[in-house]
Amino acid sequence: MLMALGLLILRLVVGLTMAAHGAQKLFGLWGGPGMTGWTQSVRRLRIRPALPWAWIAALSEFGGGLMLALGLLSPLGSLAITGAMLVAIATVHLPKGFWVTKGGFEFNVTLIAAAAALALSGPGAYSLDSALGIHLPEPATLIVGTIALIAGVTATLLSRSQPEPATKPQTT
């Protein structure tokens, strides 16, 4: 019973944090950019085409977060969160180092670790999977999901265009 309660607490905190992060992008909640602003951010990251990738990222955070919090279709929510955080690390946080105080990837790695632990442990007794009797096949779901995760992250990163060359001001 204590293990199930611990998994519930971890799922709720990580899942709802990620869902809220995605809601900032999708709906502009809590000072977030909404989809228009988020798509512009994805464009600035040179990920092309920006609009579909922006939707994939936002839905991975929001939907993956809700799935994780609810313990629904485990481990799919964990995989969605992990994919979003790996792309965030590679495109934004990695050059800034580890510590979040410098814009680094400390928080992203923590979320990935929690999502991975929940993917491996399962959602626990206090979950929709348990209540509805849903048991995705193991280890096949993790293996296929991890392959899809790697493919998705790789496709995202390969879609990045080269930076625009800086133009010199013309002198007349």
Residue 168 lies in a domain: no
Residue 170 lies in a domain: no
Residue 171 lies in a domain: no
Number of domains in the chain: 1
The pLDDT score that the predictor gives to residue 72 is 98
The pLDDT score that the predictor gives to residue 170 is 62
- DSSP H helices, the chain, are 2-27, 34-44, 50-70, 76-88, 106-121, 128-132, 140-158
pLDDT tens digit at each of 172 positions of the chain: 899 999 999 999 999 999 999 999 999 999 999 999 999 999 999 999 999 999 999 999 999 999 999 999 999 999 999 999 999 999 999 999 999 999 999 999 999 999 999 999 999 999 999 999 999 998 999 999 999 999 999 999 999 986 655 566 665 5
**What is the C-alpha separation between 172 and 169, in angstroms, rounded?**
10
Cα angle: 118, vertex 120, 122; to 5 degrees? 60
Domain containing 128 equals: 2-6+14-158
The pLDDT score that the predictor gives to residue 161 is 83
Residue 100 lies in a domain: yes
Residue 166 lies in a domain: no
What dihedral angle (degrees, nearest 10) is formed by the CA atoms of 156, 70, 74, 117?
80
